[in-house]
Structure 1
Amino acid sequence: MPKRILQGTVTSDKNDQTITVSVERRFTHPVLKKTIRKSKKYRAHDAQNQYKVGDQVRIQECAPMSKTKCWEVVAQA
């Protein structure tokens, strides 16, 4: 099965080698037919600490690195 790749904005870079990425998805409500925005935060591995708050990045699934971190940064979008 291929690994998922998501694109989002870095919202925190305070931890060492870890960034928090907010990923927003848009979909149409099944009954109201209105476009809804939902966001979710993912913690991703950033080995060189090179990404800062506000950067657009692409993250990819990987094996769990800690209790909450199972994503890694692929590239800057």
Structure 2
Amino acid sequence: MPKRILQGTVVSDKNEKTVVVRVERRFAHPILQKTVRRSKKYKAHDEKNQFKVGDLVSIQECAPISKDKTWTVISAQA
């Protein structure tokens, strides 16, 4: 089964080898048919501490690294 890949923005890089990434999804409201935006934060592993706040990154599912961290940063977007 392929691992999920999400795109988001780094909102925190204060932890060692960890970044917090906010991923936004858009969908149509089931009744109102208005576009609704929802966001969720994911902790992702950043081995080299190379990503900073504001960077657009892709994250991929991985085996659990810690209690909260089950994602890895795979690349930065242009």
TM-score range, shorter chain: over 0.9
Q: Taking structure 1 as the reference length, what is the TM-score of the superposition? A: 0.99
Stretches of structure 1 lacking an aligned partner (at least 5 in a row): none
Q: Structure 1 stretches (4+) deviating beyond 3 angstroms? A: none
Cα RMSD after superposing both structures: 0.3
- Matched residue of 2:70: which SS? strand
Residue of structure 1 in register with 2:56 after alignment: 56
Q: How high is the sequence identity, in percent, across the aligned residues?
A: 68
Residue 71 of structure 1 aligns to which amino acid in structure 2? W
Residue of structure 1 in register with 2:2 after alignment: 2
Q: Taking structure 2 as the reference length, what is the TM-score of the superposition? A: 0.98
Stretches of structure 2 lacking an aligned partner (at least 5 in a row): none
Cα offsets for 1:13-71 (capped at 9, x unmatched): 00000000000000000101000000000000000000000000000000000000000
Residue of structure 2 in register with 1:32 after alignment: 32
Q: Report how many aligned residue pairs link the two structures.
A: 77
Separation in 1 of the partners of 2:31 and 2:13? 39
Separation in 2 of the partners of 1:50 and 1:75? 10
